[in-house]
Amino acid sequence: MNNIVALLITWVITAVSLYIISKLPLGVEIDSPGKAFISAAVLGIVTAIIRPFLRLFFVVPNFLTFDLFSSLFTFIITVICFGLAAWLVQGFRLRFGIWSAIMGAFALSLISSLMYKVLESVA
C-alpha cells in the first residue's frame, strides 16, 4: 500500500511539474492539465522500460571515464526519455526539438526536486 501512495505522489508531482514547465518559455507545450497527467504517466513508463537498456549502452563510457561523467550520462538518458514521451503523447510537444527536451528535462528535475522538498517539510 505504501508503494502505491509513493507512486501516486510521484505521478502527481511529475504532472504538476510538467504543467508548470509548459507555462515557461522553454518550448515544452502541454495542452491541458489532463494531458500533463497522461504525459507524466507515459514518462514514468518510458523511463522504467528504456532506462535499464540505455544504462547498458553507457556502461563502457562510464567505465572508461571512471564514472566521472555518470551524472551527465544519466541526464542524457533523462532527455531521451523526455523526448520519447513527448513523441508518444498527443498534446505534449517540444517546439524546439532536442533543445526543448534538454531544457524541459532540466526544469523537470529542478521543479520536482523543489516540490519534493516542500512536501517533505510539510509532512
> What is the C-alpha end-to-end distance of the chain, expressed in Å?
18
Rounded to whole angstroms, the Cα distance separating 51 from 49 reads: 6
> Which of these ranges, 17-31, 37-51, 69-83, 85-99, has the smallest mean pLDDT?
69-83
pLDDT category of residue 1 using cuts at 50, 70 and 90: low
pLDDT at 71 over 80: yes
Mean pLDDT score of the chain? 93
Rounded to whole angstroms, the Cα distance separating 10 from 37 reads: 11
pLDDT at 64 over 90: no
pLDDT at 18 over 80: yes
Q: Is the pTM of this model over 0.85?
A: yes
